[in-house]
Structure 1
Amino acid sequence: MIAQSSVFDAVRRGYNELELASNDEILDYFSDVNPDAMSGHISNIKGIVFEQEVANALNAQGMDAMLFEATNHPVSDIALMSDGDIAAEVQLKATDSASYINETLADSPDIPIIVTSEVAASFDSTLVIDSGIDNLALDAAVTETLTGAVVNQAAGDVASDVASEGLAELVADAALPISPIGFGIGLLFGLPF
């Protein structure tokens, strides 16, 4: 389950004016937001939570994954590091829109995309990687944390919101192709090829 603390951390990372805010101050801030505008905030925060969850999962699985400081970094969202240098970059998309992923692939055909489980089921490409995290679970976690509203009780029952244990291997296969460099990085990360 995605922890409320992850949602609050995402808000602090994505909103400069809330960088030092307490959880209660964050809740007060969003309680004053127009309900129509709240959906945009939820979508933004959901994306940041997704980035954090995927980076944490990759790091726990032996990769050195680094989030870029800016939450709107162009083209990619996570850097895979080796000896302090960027070895590869990966995009992340917390969505259920296959057309959005197709547009992203068209714009950046060489950069792997880690996606939520709902949209991953629509693709048979090594460049589109299932995170093991459901979009519904992300949406519910962010909405419930910031508004207190229970979004979709059923989503919590069926949604997996824990990143896939084999995620690092899938990412290495897509982002670090078998080459002398990719092979060496794979060995560094302890990933079999």
Structure 2
Amino acid sequence: MIAQNSVFDAVRRGYNELEIASNDEIIDYFSDVNPDAMSGHISNIKGIVFEQEVVNALNEQGMDAMLFEATNHPISDIALMSDADIAAEVQLKATDNVAYINETLAENPDIPIIVTSEVADRFDNSIVIDSGVDNVALDDVVSEVLAGEVANHVGESIASDVVSEGLADLVADVALPISPIGFGIGLLFGLPF
């Protein structure tokens, strides 16, 4: 479940001018934004929330995942770590736009993409991984929090979708197909890698 505090944390991470703002100050800031521009803000914040939730889930499932410091890191969004080194990089896309995912695949065909469920359901490609999170639910959570509609429920989860419990296994199979254990066994039996 995505807590409203995740949305406020995403705003603080993505907007330098709001880095130390209170929840109420964030709500006030977005109440003055032009409605036409608000959809861009929601999309940006939704992406940051998605990154945070996926990294948290991967870490809870035993994988060492981390966000890059910059929210606009080129090519990938998160790193999978092994002994303090980056073992693999993964992209995350919170969208229902299949064309956007196709463009991303064309630009970076070797980098796995963790996506929202609406998009994942439309791909039969192992490099496109279903997060288990619904894009519409993410949109709704971000919109409601920024509009102050759930401000009196601090700490409560406001989305019913959760990141898939088996996400770490799916990511490991795609992003880290040769684990240290598998590599060691391969060397023992003389298998080429």
Residue equivalent to 1:95:
95
Structure possessing the higher relative contact order (Cα contacts under 8 Å, 6 or more residues apart): 2
Residue equivalent to 2:75:
75
The answer (yes or no) to whether the contact 2:96–2:119 under 8 Å persists in 1 is: yes
Cα RMSD, aligned residues only? 1.7
Partner Cα separation in structure 1 for residue 145 and residue 181 of structure 2: 43
The answer (yes or no) to whether the contact 2:58–2:167 under 8 Å persists in 1 is: yes
- Cα offset, 1:160, TM superposition: 5.2
Aligned-partner SS, 1:133: coil
The answer (yes or no) to whether the contact 2:46–2:138 under 8 Å persists in 1 is: yes
**1:172 and 2:152 equivalent?**
no
Partner Cα separation in structure 1 for residue 31 and residue 45 of structure 2: 15
Aligned-partner SS, 1:46: helix
The answer (yes or no) to whether the contact 1:134–1:160 under 8 Å persists in 2 is: no
Aligned-partner SS, 1:123: coil
Q: When the two structures are aligned, how many residues end up with a matched partner?
A: 176
Partner Cα separation in structure 2 for residue 83 and residue 66 of structure 1: 13
User: Percent identity at matched positions?
Assistant: 84
Partner Cα separation in structure 2 for residue 60 and residue 98 of structure 1: 29
Aligned-partner SS, 2:170: helix
Residue equivalent to 1:117:
117
Compare CA radii of gyration and give the structure with the larger one: 2
Matched letter for residue 134 of structure 2: D
TM (norm. structure 1) is 0.87
More helix by share: 1
TM (norm. structure 2) is 0.87
Partner Cα separation in structure 2 for residue 161 and residue 61 of structure 1: 17
- Cα offset, 1:12, TM superposition: 0.2
**1:58 and 2:71 equivalent?**
no
Residue equivalent to 1:129:
129
Aligned-partner SS, 2:111: coil
Partner Cα separation in structure 2 for residue 35 and residue 28 of structure 1: 14
Partner Cα separation in structure 2 for residue 9 and residue 180 of structure 1: 35
The answer (yes or no) to whether the contact 1:113–1:128 under 8 Å persists in 2 is: yes
- Cα offset, 1:183, TM superposition: 4.6
Partner Cα separation in structure 2 for residue 101 and residue 160 of structure 1: 25
Deviation digits for residues 4-39 of structure 1 (CA, Å, limit 9, x no counterpart): 100000000000000000001101110111111000
Deviation digits for residues 75-98 of structure 1 (CA, Å, limit 9, x no counterpart): 000000011000000000000011
Matched letter for residue 173 of structure 2: D
Q: Which runs of 5+ in 2 are unaligned?
A: 151-158, 185-193
Residue equivalent to 2:17:
17
